[in-house]
Amino acid sequence: MMRNFKQILDWARDRGRKRLAVPAPRSRRISQVLEVAEKNGLIIPVSVDVPDQAIAMAANGEVDLLFQGDAGMKEFIDALTAKGAGIAERESLSYVSIFELPSENRLIMLTDTLIQTFPDIRRKVRILENAIGFAGILGIEKPNIAALSTVELVNFHVPSSVDAAVLSKMSERRQLKGLIDGPLDIDCASSRERSRRKGLESPVAGQVDIYLLPDIESSYSIAEVLVFLGRRTLAGSLMGTRIPVVLNPRFESPDSLLLDMALASIRS
C-alpha cells in the first residue's frame, strides 16, 4: 500500500520512463516540470503542436501518457472528450486529489475536485467508481469512503445528504466496492470520537481514505483551502480516461505536477 508521495515517486521510477505527449510548452514553468520529470526517470517528453495531435498519438499507442501542459483546461478537456478522440466520455471524467497525512503515515483522497459541476447521484456513483479504482491502484483494496454533507441525518433541504444516504445503502448492498458511509459532516467523518459524541457509530469515521464532496463549489475550493491554508502539496489524477492523462490545475505546483506524472505512470 502506498503511504506517502515518496513511495509513489519511487514506484513510478522503477516502472521505467513513459512516453508523455505534450502540446509544445510555451511557459518556463512547464518546460522545467518536463525537465525535472525526465531527470527523475519518469518520462520521455514528446512535444507536439496542438492537443489534438497528442491525442491522436495516444489513441494510436505511440505514447503512454498525455499532458495538458500549457493548453487551456477547457480546450484540452474538449479535445479529450471530442467524438472520435477515443480517450474519454465527458460524463465519465472525474478528478481525484491526494494529500499526505503525516501523523498517520497514509494518503487521503478528495473527489471530484475539478471536473463535474453538480453531479447527480448517477454521476456520483461514477465519481466513486473512479476513485475506488484509483485507491485500488495505490493498494487500498477496500477504501473507507465518507459521503460528506452538512448534516448527519437525511435532510430533504440538503441534497448531498440524500445522495449520501443512497450511496451508503448501495455500499451496504455491495453495489459499490469500498465501504461508504454518509451523510457525515467533515467533523464526524474525520474522528471516531466526535462521531460517537454525536451518537453515531460510523464504520468509516476517523479512518476515511476517500472524501466524496457534495459539489464543485465545495470540492474545488476545499482543494484550494488545503493548498493555501494547509500548505499541502496536492497530487492529482484525472480518472475515466482510456490512457492516463495529466492535467495542470492552477492550484498544483510544479512539485504536484511531478507527482501527477508519477501517478499517471503507475496507472499506465
Partner 1 sequence: MLIRSFAEAEEIARKVGPKKISVLKAENREFLLALKEAHQRGYGEPVLIGDERKIREIAGEIGFDISKFDVIDSRDPQEIADRGVRLAAMGETHFVLRGYIDGPPLYRSLIRTSAKGENKRQICVVALMQFPVLPKLIGLTDTGITVAPDFGAKMAIIKNAADLFSRLGYESPQVGIITARRGLNDDLDSVSDAIKLKEAFAKGEFPECRIVDGLSLSDFFLGTEGFLEGLDGVDYSRIPDILLVHNLEFGNIFVKIDSIAERDFFSGVRRHGFIVGAGIPTVIPSRADTHKTIITDIALGVLIS
User: Applying CB under 8 A, which residues contact partner 1?
Assistant: 29, 72-74, 77, 101-103, 108, 114-115, 117, 148-150, 157-158, 160, 185-187, 190-191, 194, 197, 211, 213-222, 224-233, 248-256
Cβ contact 219:86 at 8 Å: no
3-state helix, strand, coil in the chain (%, to 5): 45, 20, 40
Cβ closer to partner 1: 19 or 194?
194
For the bound state, the minimum distance from the C-beta of residue 169 to partner 1, rounded and expressed in Å, comes to: 20
- Dist CA 110 CA 73 (whole Å): 20
For the bound state, the minimum distance from the C-beta of residue 215 to partner 1, rounded and expressed in Å, comes to: 6
CA distances from 153 to 111, 134, 178 (A): 22, 29, 21
For the bound state, the minimum distance from the C-beta of residue 187 to partner 1, rounded and expressed in Å, comes to: 5
For the bound state, the minimum distance from the C-beta of residue 174 to partner 1, rounded and expressed in Å, comes to: 28
Cβ closer to partner 1: 64 or 185?
185
- Dist CA 196 CA 194 (whole Å): 5
- Dist CA 175 CA 87 (whole Å): 26
C-alpha cell of residue 48? 507536439
- Dist CA 183 CA 165 (whole Å): 6
Cβ closer to partner 1: 244 or 249?
249
**Helices and strands, counts by H and E, the chain:** 10, 10
Cβ closer to partner 1: 132 or 213?
213
- Closest CA relative to residue 210, chosen from 231, 182, 230, 249: 182
Cβ closer to partner 1: 64 or 100?
100
Cβ contact 181:204 at 8 Å: yes
For the bound state, the minimum distance from the C-beta of residue 244 to partner 1, rounded and expressed in Å, comes to: 19
- Closest CA relative to residue 247, chosen from 87, 91, 122, 74: 74
Cβ closer to partner 1: 11 or 215?
215
For the bound state, the minimum distance from the C-beta of residue 221 to partner 1, rounded and expressed in Å, comes to: 5
Q: DSSP letter for 50, please.
A: S
Cβ closer to partner 1: 233 or 265?
233
For the bound state, the minimum distance from the C-beta of residue 114 to partner 1, rounded and expressed in Å, comes to: 7
C-alpha cell of residue 100? 499526505
